[in-house]
Amino acid sequence: MRTLKAFLPPAVGGCLASVLLTSVLVAAEGRQRAGTVVVASEPEAESEALVLEDDGLDASCQVLVPCGGLPLGMLWWEADYLLWWAKGMEIPPLVTGGTTGVLGTSPVLYGDDQILDEARSGFRVGLGSWLDCGRCFGVEGDYWMLGEATDHFRAESNAQGSPALFRPFFNINPRDEAGEFAPPAREDAEIVSSPGVLAGSVVVDSYSDLQGAGIRWRRQLCCQSACDTCADACGCQHALARSSRLDLLVGYRFVQLKEGLAVNEALASLLSAPDQGQFAINDSFQTANRFHGADLGVTWRRRCGPWLLDVLGKLSLGGVEQTVRIAGQTVISGSAADNGTYAGGLLAQSTNINVYRRNVFAMVPELGINLGYQLAPWLTAKVGYSFLYWSRVVRPGDQIDLDVNPDLLPPPDGFAGAERPRFEFRDADFWAQGLRVGLEGRW
Q: What are the sequence ranges of the domains in the chain?
A: 2-442
How many other C-beta atoms are found inside a 10 Å radius of the C-beta of residue 422? 12
Superfamily grouping for domain 2-442:
OPCA outer membrane adhesin/invasin (2.40.128.100)
**Closest by Cα among 395, 389, 376, 348 to 441:** 376
- Residue 412: what pLDDT? 82
Q: Can you tell me the distance from the alpha carbon of 409 to that of 344, in angstroms, rounded to the nearest whole number?
A: 7
Contact 387, 433 (CB under 8 A): yes
Span 293-302, average pLDDT: 97
Which of the two residues, 58 and 113, has the higher pLDDT score? 113
161 Cβ contact partners less than 8 Å away, ≥ 6 residues apart: 193, 194, 195, 196, 197, 198, 199, 200, 270
Provide the mean pLDDT of the chain. 85
Percent of the chain scoring above 70 in pLDDT = 81
Span 178-195, average pLDDT: 93
Q: Can you tell me the distance from the alpha carbon of 129 to that of 139, in angstroms, rounded to the nearest whole number?
A: 6
Span 317-342, average pLDDT: 95
52 Cβ contact partners less than 8 Å away, ≥ 6 residues apart: 32, 34, 36, 37, 38, 62, 63, 64, 65
- Residue 154: what pLDDT? 98
Q: How confident is the model at residue 252 (pLDDT cuts 50, 70, 90)?
A: very high
User: Does residue 300 register a pLDDT over 60?
Assistant: yes
Q: How confident is the model at residue 338 (pLDDT cuts 50, 70, 90)?
A: confident
- Residue 142: what pLDDT? 98
Which of the two residues, 283 and 56, has the higher pLDDT score? 283
User: Does residue 53 register a pLDDT over 70?
Assistant: no
- Residue 351: what pLDDT? 96
Q: How confident is the model at residue 184 (pLDDT cuts 50, 70, 90)?
A: very high
- Residue 34: what pLDDT? 36
User: Does residue 59 register a pLDDT over 70?
Assistant: no
Span 16-29, average pLDDT: 34
User: Does residue 299 register a pLDDT over 80?
Assistant: yes
The pTM of this model reads 0.81
Q: Can you tell me the distance from the alpha carbon of 398 to that of 45, in angstroms, rounded to the nearest whole number?
A: 69
Q: pLDDT tens across 150-164, in order?
A: 999 999 999 999 999
Helix (H) or strand (E) holding 227: strand 198-231
Pairing relation of β-strands 165-171 and 403-404?
A: parallel
**Closest by Cα among 300, 439, 442, 307 to 369:** 300
- Of the chain, the end-to-end C-alpha distance in Å amounts to 19
Q: How confident is the model at residue 352 (pLDDT cuts 50, 70, 90)?
A: very high
Q: How confident is the model at residue 238 (pLDDT cuts 50, 70, 90)?
A: low
Q: pLDDT tens across 103-139, in order?
A: 999 999 999 999 999 999 999 999 999 998 888 999 9
Using only C-alpha atoms, what is the Rg of the chain?
33
Contact 169, 188 (CB under 8 A): yes
Q: Can you tell me the distance from the alpha carbon of 189 to that of 202, in angstroms, rounded to the nearest whole number?
A: 14
